[in-house]
Amino acid sequence: MPANNVIAEIKNLHTNFYLREGVARAVAGVNLTLEKGRTLGIVGESGCGKSVTAHSLMQLVPSPGKIEEGEILFYPPGSTTEVIEIHKLEPNSKEMRAIRGNQISMVFQEPMTSMLPVRTVGAQIMEAIILHQQVSKAEARTRAIEILSRVKLPNADRIVDTYPFQLSGGMRQRAVIAMALSCNPNLLIADEPTTALDVTTEAQILDLLRALQQDFDMGIMYITHNLGVIAEIADDVAVMYMGKVVEQTDTSSLFFKPLHPYTQALLRSIPQLDDVMARTGKNKRLETIKGMVPDPYRILPGCVFHPRCPQFMEGICDQIAPEIIEVEPDHIVRCHLYTAPAEAHTAKDARL
């Protein structure tokens, strides 16, 4: 058993999509640990596998996707011996439905797609409470109003009877968060929950999530492509590229000492107001990462980032897949720059 504060572990997860064009390896050997009271940020470009990792954890991988290999372990609170092997559960099984929306909840990017437009906000929150907590309708309504107040929606006793389309975007996202928290989950997965919101509302939602995390002592997996949001909310960060974690550490180490060339490139591509105007006094071009994310059906030899890497080493990076290594305590990276050259060459010689 892991330490007491561990809620879930993902071990060597592989999730593939079987399409006419070929096999898309969306998640290719991911290892993650989620802890009580901490936020793990998952960051990377679109298509890097961050959402599929989260969907795998909830057994919500859409067809024709499939968890092919690996383990997803959930440790229910209050038990030091029980382990639920989520990867072995059928997506629609009674056991999985008892976990999903109850012990593990998810907030999606676009609130209009996670709420039914024809049912009131209250009815949708009450449904989850009645299903998982077996309380009366009156009790569920009281709890729904309580949770709507906790996500700082004004006049919760009125909002409970409104329809999603009657609320603003920010209010709808608060209502979706209320729905996700209605059963006091141990783990909340937030999949780009602020991407569709303006920056002021985004800052309010991030403050709200931080406050709710303290109240509920829950773990959060926060998925985003925005490193600014990661700086605001995450304790630890995993950077993903082509279905793999390429770097993982605590948030301040990632920002102050990024090791992987992909992380360094992501950080260089954040607009810096002082860089643009104050220091130079003239406009400066924003750095971008050259090239495109490769075709997901192709298995690239060597490092998955090598076609775009500014520090590419011919004969090594294009031939040998780097292993993940711990460069500093709790700072892991998947890159040959941190492997002793002799080791990389020995591995290369072994392949020839």
Nearer to ligand SF4, 97 or 345 (CB): 345
Position 27 contacts ligand SF4 (CB under 6 A): no
Position 336 contacts ligand SF4 (CB under 6 A): yes
Position 337 contacts ligand SF4 (CB under 6 A): yes
Nearer to ligand SF4, 75 or 305 (CB): 305
Return the half-sphere exposure (C-beta side, CA atoms, 13 A cut-off) of residue 174: 25
Position 335 contacts ligand SF4 (CB under 6 A): yes
Residue 160 backbone phi and psi in degrees, to 5: -55, -25
CA angle, residues 110, 242, 96, in degrees to nearest 5:
55
Q: Which of residues 288-307 bind ligand SF4 (CB under 6 A)?
A: 303, 305-306
Position 322 contacts ligand SF4 (CB under 6 A): yes
Minimum Å gap between C-beta 336 and ligand SF4 is 4
According to DSSP, the β-strands at 22-35 and 6-19 are antiparallel
User: Whole-angstrom Cα distance, residue 82 to residue 74?
Assistant: 9
Minimum Å gap between C-beta 25 and ligand SF4 is 17
Q: Are 50 and 265 in contact (CB under 8 A)?
A: no
Minimum Å gap between C-beta 44 and ligand SF4 is 14
Identified binder of ligand SF4 from the candidate list 312, 324, 345, 347, rule CB under 6 A: 312
User: Whole-angstrom Cα distance, residue 210 to residue 239?
Assistant: 21
Nearer to ligand SF4, 276 or 327 (CB): 327
3-state secondary structure (DSSP) of residue 84: strand
User: Whole-angstrom Cα distance, residue 229 to residue 41?
Assistant: 9
In the numeric block, the tokens 């409104």 are attached to 162
Q: Which stretch binds ligand SF4 (CB under 6 A): 159-167, 197-205, 289-297, 312-320?
A: 312-320
- Of 187, 190, 156, 158, the C-alpha closest to 173 is 190
Cα–chain center distance at 203: 18
Identified binder of ligand SF4 from the candidate list 41, 185, 258, 261, rule CB under 6 A: 261
Q: Which stretch binds ligand SF4 (CB under 6 A): 24-32, 116-124, 230-238, 333-341?
A: 333-341
| Interface positions with ligand SF4 (CB under 6 A) | 260-261, 303, 305-306, 309, 311-313, 317, 322, 335-337
